[in-house]
Structure 1
Amino acid sequence: MDIAEDKFLISLGQKVKEFRESKNFSQEDLANDCNIPKSQIGRIERAEINTTMRTLIKIAQALGVKVRDLIEF
């Protein structure tokens, strides 16, 4: 990954975590709502993986936000 991609993934992970915590969701709560493994939420928040749009859509829906809200930094 290049630096720009790294920065994007870090910012995305921070946004997911901010929205999750603002809803008082644990990583497990969010994972269950999205039907994905809890470990995947953690890896997204720590910028360890480049997740799919499909997963971002699930996360946004579970958090009650738009995908745009997760990727505008």
Structure 2
Amino acid sequence: MDISQETFIASLGVHIRQLREKKGMSQQDLADDSEIRKTQIGRIERAEINTTIKTLIKIANALDVEPKELLDFPLK
């Protein structure tokens, strides 16, 4: 199965937003808990940037999920 980088990054951003909202967190809450700027959280969720593994680990910790759960999403 071929998937474009853009599709993967967009699906990742949607999934992070869904997990954040499921936990009842705002972007600011996630930013505070992960020590990442709110603007960067927004850019990740909107697929404007290709984030690093280090940042994904911080986000996973803040969402209280395993890092692999961030990558477990349907591709759109």
TM-score tier by shorter-chain length is over 0.9
| Identity between Structure 1 and Structure 2 (%) | 56
Equivalenced residues, count: 71
Query: Over the residues paired in the alignment, what is the CA RMSD in angstroms?
Result: 1.0
Mapped to 1, the partners of 2:72 and 2:33 lie a distance apart of: 23
TM-score by length of 1: 0.93
Alignment gaps of 5+ in structure 1 = none
Alignment gaps of 5+ in structure 2 = none
Q: Give the helix-richer structure, 1 or 2.
A: 1
Q: After the TM superposition, which parts of structure 1 deviate over 4 Å for at least 4 consecutive aligned residues?
A: none
Following superposition, the deviation at residue 67 of structure 1 comes to 1.3
Q: Which amino acid aligns with 1:66?
A: E
TM-score by length of 2: 0.89
Mapped to 2, the partners of 1:67 and 1:11 lie a distance apart of: 15
Mapped to 2, the partners of 1:72 and 1:60 lie a distance apart of: 12
Report what 1:29 is aligned to: 29
Q: Per-residue displacement from partner, 1:10-53 (whole Å, max 9, x unpaired)?
A: 11001100000001100000001111110000000000000010
